[in-house]
Amino acid sequence: MHVLLVEDDDSIAVPLVEGLRREGFDVERASTGAEALAAGEADLVLLDLRLPDIDGFSVCRELRSRSDVPIIVVSARGEEVDRVVGLEIGADDYVVKPFGLRELIARIRAVARRSGGRREDGDAIAAGRVLVDLRAHRVTVDGEEVHLTTKEFDLLTLLARERGAVVDRERILRDVWHTTWYGSSKTIDVHVAALRRKLGDPSLIETVRGIGLRLQA
């Protein structure tokens, strides 16, 4: 796996590159946001937020606009608002410094599995007026295409697989955001609001108070 590490601090980047390479990863390092945006295609991006030239959130947003490459934010900024913003603009996971190498590698592999599984699944899921095409990574409502972010698509896919049933928030956090940190629950509400707006019918996704969400079948 080719990993792009975006980190300007040598004291963090050098041992991290060495550790990842020992584990068999092909690692390319970028020290600035500009270098990250100019780098070649990667299988996964590890992105620091505090860069010397461009804010890391801007880099994340630009990378996500270009492709579905998995992005893991690796930052000392552990406040809830930073986590929510990072996930909202397209990051697949958020790791707070300091962290252990084993934890980071586990996160990398989990995100890579999720991303690979999404690309390889060739099924389509029909839920009433909504059609989720997993192979093409497209969603249509009444035949009209709806453009979703990666996380919005993953959330809708999970609900569509369980259409008509309630999916609890703990499972949503685990399957879509790969975390059990319940503080991330607020970002679910942000994505649900965006999905309802884009699908054009708020009633398609029902909130079951105190439990979770249900996609109307």
Region of residue 42 (left: phi > 0; alpha: psi -120 to 50; beta: else): beta
Dist. CA 177–CA 171, nearest whole Å: 9
C-alpha span between 153 and 82 (Å, rounded): 22
For residues 119 and 157, what is the distance between their CA atoms, to the nearest angstrom?
13
| Residue span of the structural domain in which 134 resides | 121-215
Domain end (from 68, 91, 119): 119
pLDDT at 38: 94
- pLDDT tens for 170-193 read 889 888 888 766 666 788 999 999
Q: How far apart are CA 54 and CA 142, in angstroms?
A: 41
DSSP code at position 1:
-
Of 100, 119, 138, the last residue of a domain is 119
Structural domain count, the chain = 2
**pLDDT tens, residue by residue, 108-156:** 888 876 665 444 344 688 887 888 988 788 899 988 899 999 899 999 9
